[in-house]
Amino acid sequence: MRVCRANHRRSIACILVIAASVVLCASTARAQGVETTMPAPQGVTVQSSPAGAQLAWQRVAAAAQYIVVRTRQGAMAVAGTVPATALSFVDQGNAQAATYQVVAVAANGQRSASVSVAFAGVPATPLGNRVAALAP
């Protein structure tokens, strides 16, 4: 288990049972009125690409890395961790609808609040316009 502490006027301990729960820690702190000093990523977008879901966001000055969390059918999992220099992430092979959350992480371990974005899934490839010759 890992313990995350959000400090402002008081300290709140959030027990993280799985790695994906890092998002819950930031959300819980925000819900309980604790301000996070690290700003959340802004301009988070997701779009369909041939490789899967492609996310992008704007840089957070103090970030050392970003954690991308995927929630699909109630199951939360870390989709990936990317360095601060990467402002995008492709969830390889994910064609299904999901909700993604992006969290900025500072070198000292401090985390931002999460920013969520919904992915509708990769649309099915159309078969194209085919004309069949009908026998008379």
The string of pLDDT tens digits covering residues 102-114 is 999 999 999 999 9
Identify the domain containing residue 73 by its residue range.
Answer: 2-119
pLDDT at position 120 is: 87
- Within 13 A of 28's CA, how many CA atoms are on the CB side? 15
Predicted TM-score (pTM) of this structure: 0.66
135 belongs to a structural domain: no
Residue 119 to residue 13: CA distance in whole angstroms: 31
105 belongs to a structural domain: yes
Residue 46 to residue 109: CA distance in whole angstroms: 26
Residue 87, domain CATH: 2.60.40.10
Which residue, 35, 38, 32, is CA-closest to 14? Answer: 32
- Within 13 A of 81's CA, how many CA atoms are on the CB side? 9
36 belongs to a structural domain: yes
79 belongs to a structural domain: yes
126 belongs to a structural domain: no
In total, how many domains does the chain have? 1
21 belongs to a structural domain: yes
- Contact, 83 vs 37, CB < 8 A? no
The string of pLDDT tens digits covering residues 75-87 is 999 999 999 999 9
